[in-house]
Amino acid sequence: MNADFPKNNLKRPTLLLISLFLFVFNSSYAQEGVYWMGVSTKNPAAIGTPSDWIIGSYNYAKLPYDQKISGFIGNADVRISPKIGSIGVNYINENLDHENISSAELCYAYTFSIEEMGELNFGFSMGLNKYEETTFDNSILDQNDPSFIAPDLRAKYLKTSFGTYFMSKKLDFGISYNFYNELENSYGGENFSIEFEKNVITALGAYRFFIHNKFTVEPNVLLDFSKGNTDKNIGLFANYNGVVWAGYNNLNFNDTHSVMIGMDIIRKIRAGYSYSFSEIFQEENYGFHEFVLGFRFN
């Protein structure tokens, strides 16, 4: 998009999808190792990693034409036992003025230990994604017109995901499939509807380089394959002594850039911040802020 476009060309559902994309895709950085935090929204098998974190993040941004986006993302997972497996929950709520996106899902993963190699996890999740106009802007319509009917705009999708995730001391690799069944959609009118969700195959990987047993450098990549489109998220993550961490992510080599920094206090409390800026709108002083707080209960 370009900031010179008229306001009515900046479709609100499109802005919301960009917001959701930035904070689920571009700021999805780790279970145990931070850069994949929240990746269970794409690959449910990731909750099988030895994490046991409960993590929440708050994000906000100011967009062109005085529009604002804000939202909350929460993830939690716990390994019940080696025989039973792990369970987790993901929750997302994003708002753009009077429009809202929300998502809630439950995850399950079972872990197989491979001697001297690592762990192989298989996961499944199911949940509901909702899009809705919370308070319609009546200022653009004449309510005295007998034909005036305030629209009831909403869409619902049943989301189902399958995935596998391998984790070892040096290597992470995973692949998953997310598909959506449309339950309701009143966006777009009688002749067409706005498509919010597309089935996606996600592949992710990371490799760790250890320097003097204290400093770790981890290049990582996450690829989303959907019909007619491939999104590429490439990053570099660094960790010092398991306490201080920082990183950089790039979406499609140009669309969005993110920088992050944080620390794990006594390996139990995680605090972090990320800043994402995008060339999508070509707008000065434009950027997304995210604040992360987590607690490890095991």
User: Which pair of tokens denotes residue 135?
Assistant: 């308070």
Q: pLDDT 10s digit of each residue in the chain, 298 long?
A: 233 323 333 344 445 555 554 544 444 333 455 556 678 899 999 998 777 889 899 988 877 667 788 889 999 999 999 899 999 999 999 887 778 889 999 999 999 998 888 899 999 999 999 998 866 555 545 545 544 445 678 899 999 999 999 988 889 999 999 999 999 888 876 666 778 888 999 999 999 999 988 899 999 999 999 988 898 989 899 999 888 999 998 888 777 888 899 998 888 899 999 888 876 555 555 688 999 999 988 7
Q: Tell me the CA distances in angstroms from 87 to 54, 70, 82, 203, 246, one per residue in order.
A: 12, 28, 12, 21, 28
Question: Distance between CA 280 and CA 248 in Å, rounded?
Answer: 18
Q: Which helix (H) or strand (E) holds 72?
A: strand 67-81
User: Which pair of tokens denotes residue 16?
Assistant: 């919301």
User: Which pair of tokens denotes residue 258?
Assistant: 């993110």
b/e sequence 46-65, b meaning 16+ C-beta within 10 Å? bbbbebbbbbebebebebbe
> What is the three-class DSSP state of 143?
coil
Query: Per DSSP, what are the bridge partners of residue 55?
Result: 75, 294
